[in-house]
Amino acid sequence: MTAERSAPAPTERHHLGDMVLDRKTALRLSYEKLAERCIDPDTGEQAVKSSWLHRIATRLPVQAPSAAALRGMSAGLEVPLRLVQDAASAQFFGVDFVYSNDETVRAMVSHFEEMTPEDRRKIRALIEAFRKA
């Protein structure tokens, strides 16, 4: 008989929604004005609607954003694209990105936030070992 490992208990994740709300507040913009700023630099088109931004910020159900939406949100929120991608990955897919101390190594870890402090420490040590290699 093999021991089976159970999946971590699902938790509510609102990384991207919280980012939208925080940046909207910091930039002192309405959802409409924020949406107007979310222009995908690759296409020059508005990437998200104000209603979608409102729904995600207020923790209502939304569809996961497209790559174009993430690029547009990066521009509109004035946040580096990788951080917007990290927040979306955590919220919609339960995947956390963990960085080395100098941010030169980035690892994708499923449900890192739900791990024990000891397991998180081990993963960080592994990432630091790759940084030094």
Q: What pLDDT digit, counting tens, does each position of 96-124 carry? A: 889 888 888 889 998 888 899 999 999 99
Counting the structural domains of the chain, the total is: 2
**Residue 118 counted as domain residue:** yes
Beta bridge partners of 57: none
pTM value > 0.85: no
**Residue 18 counted as domain residue:** yes
Same-domain status, 22 and 61: yes
**Residue 8 counted as domain residue:** no
* Residues in the chain, overall count: 133
- The SS3 call for residue 75 is helix
Element (H, E) at 92: helix 81-93
Same-domain status, 72 and 18: yes
**pLDDT value of residue 7:** 41
Q: Is the pLDDT of residue 6 over 60?
A: no
**Residue 44 counted as domain residue:** yes
Look up the domain containing 126 and give its range.
94-133
**pLDDT value of residue 75:** 98
The rounded distance, in Å, linking the Cα atoms of 12 and 94 is 10
Same-domain status, 127 and 79: no
Q: Is the pLDDT of residue 5 over 60?
A: no
Instruction: Give the CATH number for residue 61.
Output: 1.10.260.40
pLDDT band at residue 80 under the 50/70/90 scheme: very high
Same-domain status, 117 and 85: no
Q: Which two tokens stand for residue 18?
A: 């919280």
Q: Angle between the 81-93 and 67-77 helix axes, to the nearest 10 degrees?
A: 130
Phi-psi map region of 84: left, alpha, beta (phi>0 left; psi -120 to 50 alpha): alpha
**pLDDT value of residue 133:** 66
**pLDDT value of residue 11:** 61
The single-letter code of the amino acid at 102 is: D
